[in-house]
Amino acid sequence: MTSDLTTKAYQIFEQSIEDYHRFDRVDQPISNPYSGSDIEHLFYLKNWIDTVQWHYEDIIRDPHINPEDALVLKRKIDASNQHRTDLVENLDAFFLNEYKDVEVMKDAQINTESPAWAFDRLSILALKIYHMQEEANRPEASEDHRQACQKKLEVLLEQRTDLMSAIEQLLEDFKSGRKYMKVYKQMKMYNDDDLNPVLREAKKA
């Protein structure tokens, strides 16, 4: 059994993916149906970023892409990666606040992965399932292709069940005090003018 939050998160991820594919354009504006103060808003925004970046990654692999267009797209992917990381940290801030009053057991353990990064994996998995389902049902594809994709889809669906159960267990461990949260920010260096030597030198010019 998965928690209401885990199930709700996955439903929101699916909603975001469906909303994106109504127009299927990387430049389309987001229309987040949830309030900015709600975790649902963060879940929807998180998946929207992932969905747009999924399609950025498709486009940039075009062997005939213009090099100048590829560079512009690479900058967009970099910005998207930073936005994705920022969103994960915002989600973790929500969970830190959610469990701040929990009495932690003396033998409580820290988890190698925070709740937000686990939900990040679930968001990406929702995208894999959506697109593998497309391939398994693509009419112009060969029967061998569709069957191979159907087998991969079945594995992804099993992985979804396992991941949602694992997230549920992690949340229950936090609620009960069996585990405690300790979050480290990513501290990415390549986007920082003071930490990336190339950007530091460019700033001096």
Please report the sign of the dihedral spanned by the C-alpha atoms of residue 25, residue 135, residue 161, residue 112: negative
Looking at residue 112, what is its pLDDT?
A: 87
All residue ranges of the chain with pLDDT < 70 are: 1-3, 186-192, 195, 198-199, 205
Provide the 8-state DSSP code for 140: T
Contact indicator for 48, 32 with CB cutoff of 8 Å: yes
Looking at residue 190, what is its pLDDT?
A: 67
pLDDT digits (tens, 9 = 90+) for 154-163: 999 999 999 9
Looking at residue 78, what is its pLDDT?
A: 93
Contact indicator for 164, 1 with CB cutoff of 8 Å: no
CA-CA distance, 99 to 5, in Å (whole number)? 14
pTM of the predicted protein model: 0.90
Q: State phi, psi for 110 to the nearest 5 degrees.
A: -90, 145
Counting runs of H as helices and runs of E as strands, what totals does the chain give? Answer: 6, 2
Helix (H) or strand (E) holding 151: helix 143-176
Contact indicator for 25, 56 with CB cutoff of 8 Å: no
CA-CA distance, 146 to 114, in Å (whole number)? 36
Domain locations along the chain: 4-200
